Chain A
Amino acid sequence: MSSVDSVAVPSRGAALPPRRVGAKWLIGFILPLGLALAWETAVALKWADGRLLPTPSRVIGTLVGLARTGELTAHVLATLQRVALGFGFGVTAGTVLGAVSGYWTLARRLIDPMLQALRNIPSIAWVPMFILWFGIFETSKVILIAVGVFFPIYLSLSGAILGVDRKLVEVGRIFRFSHREMITRILLPATLPAYVISLRSGLGLGWMFVVAAEFMGAEEGLGFLLVDGQQTGRPAVILASITAFAVLGKITDWLLASVSARFLTWQDSFKAAE
């Protein structure tokens, strides 16, 4: 009925109609909430046994209990700190080396083959060495996370720089751009979309690796909570920890995405037309 409405292109400056923006966003909740509700009902009606897969209400109850004692906050903070540090180091190293190897051919020939070979080692395989070298405390954990974060960022940044449209670089040459101007005015903005995506996938890997790192033996952290739940045979605790991971991962990714979206309004993607 409103097809004419949706085809009309809003003129620049005219505000998009605010209607249903919230509704669009809420659609994402339908599936997880529906599944949770279905499981809750199934267990309540005794169709299923909730022992191995506890109901959402029990998981939430466990989370609330952990929050009351202050345990949850301590675990969350410990894990957040590890992810933040590992992500920070991984991003820094990936950005520097990715930029250098993308821009400077000699450096690429020097460092890229080695990094490509190292990339194929499952990062978990480093765990024993990291423990030997850096001890079993924070350093080895942070480094493991940093290694996981490093590769997607290094790979996509160097690839994105190599892939910058020669045609745009030529425009810079015609206007006699210096190296610095070429980087700040063309290479940086041109690679930004790919870089943002790599930051997001790097962050995702950071969350994956923090679990592996905390399996290595930690006294607190969500990964510790998970192992503790396993060893004491409490599936609700395991699920509480998994839920916390999901929520934190989603929130941090959303933060990263919304901060970067401000710099990418120029993109001519099919989403921009939404």
Chain B
Amino acid sequence: MLSISNVDKRYPNGLLALAGLDLAVAEGEILAIVGGSGCGKSTLLRLISGLDTPTAGTVGLEGTPVRAPRPEIGLVFQEPRLMPWLTIDQNVAFGIRHLPVVEQKARVSETLARVGLASHVGHWPRELSGGQAQRVALARALVGRPKVLLLDEPFSALDALTRSDLQDHLLELWAYDRPTMILVTHDIEEALVLADRVVVMQPDPGRVRVEVTPPLARPRDRLDTEFLEWKYRLLGELDHASRRKTGDETFPAVAI
């Protein structure tokens, strides 16, 4: 459904963020992309969303190239990015502003109810906790019923408890109309809880190091032995991937 073929991304400052990247994502799949900072995982998400364009290669959605943001693709950022001058419901309505007002209202309250914030209509963003604000951001991305939902480290700014709460909640939301989901994260546990397939990236330049499809039963138990085994295995991969970044494996960076 979504295909990334031979994609390079070079920034104007000369930095090669991605090199020769190939990735195919099936409809309804949940894919997690993990990697240390600077491995190009956020860049990749920006290319898929159409916010940026690749220097070479193509990003294709259902056969047509993505060169600019498209209505079938929703994006949730690391921060909620709510407009502080709009109420919660007005923020969510951003995603469906072209619909008739009556339908907007119905869809907004339906989506807010789904994320558990139906009672917050008319409230200002400043009145929300971090977790609630990110729920509103999820609602804003979902209200237009995108076929693809992109998430850029969506829960990384939240405390551990709220984070696992929202991870479970995200799976419930996914179950409504099963969009294809691509999640970028540096949290292995998050990737394993959510994703069907996990792609580990490595930096300099950004490329895929390894791809795994953990055969873990759902719902996934964060303390299950098999889950933990996968977690450690991927942590090892991630560790190797980021050590490569120093460019010299015989001299791992050691702080005294």
Binding site for B on A (CB under 8 A): 12, 167-168, 170-171, 173-176, 185-186, 189-190, 192, 266-268, 272
Contact = CB atoms under 8 A, between A and B. Distances in A.
A174 B97 contact: no
Nearest to B74: A174
B69 A268 contact: no
Interface string B48-82: 01010000000000000000111100110101010
Nearest to A190: B85
A189 B69 contact: no
Interface stretch (B123-131, B174-182, B183-191): B123-131
A266 B125 CA distance: 8
B123 A174 contact: no
Contacts of B94: 171, 175, 185
A175 B81 contact: no
Given A174-B51, A176-B69, A176-B71, A168 B77 contact: no
B108 to A, nearest CB: 14
Nearest to A171: B81
Given A171-B94, A268-B126, A272-B126, A176 B81 contact: no
Given A173-B69, A175-B97, A176-B69, A168 B127 contact: no
Nearest to A272: B126
Interface of B: 49, 51, 68-71, 74-75, 77, 79, 81, 83-86, 94-95, 97, 122-127
10 contacts: A12-B122, A167-B79, A168-B83, A170-B77, A171-B77, A171-B94, A175-B69, A185-B83, A185-B94, A192-B85
Contacts of B77: 167, 170-171
Given A12-B123, A272-B126, A189 B85 contact: yes
A272 B124 CA distance: 12
Contacts of B75: 174
B88 to A, nearest CB: 11
B126 A175 contact: no
B81 A170 contact: yes
Given A174-B51, A174-B75, A176-B71, A266 B95 contact: no
- The dominant DSSP class at the B interface is loop
B97 A173 contact: no
A210 B249 CA distance: 72
Nearest to A167: B81
Given A167-B79, A168-B81, A186-B83, A174 B126 contact: no
B126 A266 contact: yes
Nearest to B77: A167
B124 A174 contact: no
Given A12-B123, A174-B69, 20 more contacts: A167-B77, A167-B79, A168-B81, A170-B77, A171-B94, A173-B51, A174-B51, A174-B74, A175-B69, A175-B94, A175-B97, A176-B69, A185-B83, A266-B84, A266-B85, A266-B126, A268-B84, A268-B125, A268-B126, A272-B126
A186 B75 CA distance: 18
Contact of A189 (B49, B70, B83, B124): B83
Contacts of B74: 174
Contacts of B49: 174
B245 to A, nearest CB: 27
B68 A176 contact: yes
Contacts of A174: 49, 51, 69, 74-75
Nearest to A189: B85
Looking at B69, B77, B85, the one whose CB has the most chain A CB atoms below 10 A away is: B85
Contacts of A267: 84
Nearest to B78: A167
A189 B83 CA distance: 9
Contacts of B97: 175
